[in-house]
Amino acid sequence: MIEWPNVTESGRRELGLKPEELQKSRCVLGSIPVVYYSVLLCIGVPVNVLTAVALSRLACRTKRALYYYLLAVTASDILSQLFIIFVGFLLETAVFHREVPALLLHCVSAAEFAANHASIWSTVPLTVDRYVALCHPLLHRQISYPARARRIILAVLALSLVSGVPFFWWSDMWRNSHPPTALDTALVWTHVTIIYFLPCSIFLVLNSLIIRTLRRRQRQQPCQEEPGPQPAPARRLGKTTAMLLAITSAFSVLWAPRTVVVIYHLYAASVHSDWRVHLAYDLSNMLAMLNTAVNFFLYCFVSKAFRSSVRDIVLLRGGPLFPRSAPPQPHAPNNASISSLYSGSNKRSHREWRPGKPS
């Protein structure tokens, strides 16, 4: 497939336009998007399934809320890959050339936006949990536990599903050549606010507070004069912060071009008529969808416990998914939650760091 037309035969009949009256932009990338999304889907879905299994093992083994939030992020990424990449880009566009009933297009559009919102907003509770754990550890002991994490995740998924309903009326950029209406403008600004401006603002504020807190602790650490070996929370907390910053920064960078292109399409030039905007929109979508497949590599780079769990799964070794748990230790999971990605031993984490004073 070399060229994807933006207006189909049904679209021409609906608009009452003749072919010579339409100045359609060409897809200059040709079949590159089809190959790209096919490869991304073939790699991203297995990788995310592997991530979900590894995180499920760690969550059942450690009973830490952090792993439940990471699991929700992974599950939302899988939904985005299935609805947006497989159904939206490959089936509707590449296979059927968007020659499907309008009702089906609108229903799929609402499902795509709901999955998109879930994928992005499932990162927000993770960021809040890390902020509370690092900046308010005593409060974190009281409010962070698996049952509450599951309720928060269900609430986020339900709100994401509801937020996708208004986008049933999202204007199809590839078929509609008319100027944007008031409804189109409202939906575009709602979309960019939900998927970019609002979550990025939350990430910026909380990550800034986390970094400020860690720097203050690092300045205070040399002043500790008690005998004995110095604790090592700075390195561990720094790695935890690096993981969180990597996830949120990857989202901010990969989704920024698409946000700019959508707003530019609304006010300056149309994807339908300008091949340059068409090209920018294709490339920005490809970058944005890349965000659904990068977290696995970030977890492997940062977390020794995650790498060990993945190795056990790939080599078909290790205990079952729901192993027999040892007698509960009431205080260890709370203290260990701050360095939960880096230590498989709750006792070691409990011994090495206590909030507010050195060991």
Q: What is the pLDDT of residues 244-282, one digit of tens each?
A: 888 999 999 999 999 999 998 888 867 666 778 888 888
pLDDT confidence bin for 132, thresholds 50/70/90: very high
Residues 270/172, Cβ–Cβ less than 8 Å: no
Beta bridge partners of 357: 354
pLDDT tops 50 at residue 355: no
How would you class 281 by CB atoms within 10 Å of its CB: exposed for 0-12, middle for 13-18, buried for 19 or more?
buried
Write down the pLDDT at residue 24.
Answer: 57
pLDDT of residue 353: 44
Among residues 135, 119, 134, 116, the alpha carbon closest in space to that of 190 is found at 116
- Which one has a higher pLDDT value, 355 or 221? 221
73: how many CB neighbours lie within 10 A of its CB? 24
Helices (H), 18-96: 32-62, 65-80
Query: Quick check: 80 and 119 in contact, CB under 8 A?
Result: yes
Q: Are 341 and 239 in contact (CB under 8 A)?
A: yes
At position 189, the amino acid (one-letter code) is W
**Closest by CA position to 50, among listed 296, 352, 240:** 296
Quickly list H helices, 193-232. Answer: 198-220
Q: Which residue has the higher pLDDT, 154 or 320?
A: 154
Lowest mean pLDDT among 149-153, 166-170, 334-338: 334-338
Give the Cα-Cα-Cα angle 298, 200, 294 (nearest 5 degrees).
20
| Higher per-residue confidence, 176 vs 22 | 176
- Mean pLDDT within 138-146: 91
The overall pTM is greater than 0.95: no
Per the DSSP assignment, residues forming a β-bridge with 354 are 357
Helix (H) and strand (E) counts in the chain: 15, 0
Mean pLDDT score of the chain: 79
Domains, the chain, in order of start with CATH, read: 30-219+236-315 (1.20.1070.10)
pLDDT number for residue 4: 41
Mean pLDDT, range 302-310, rounded to an integer = 89
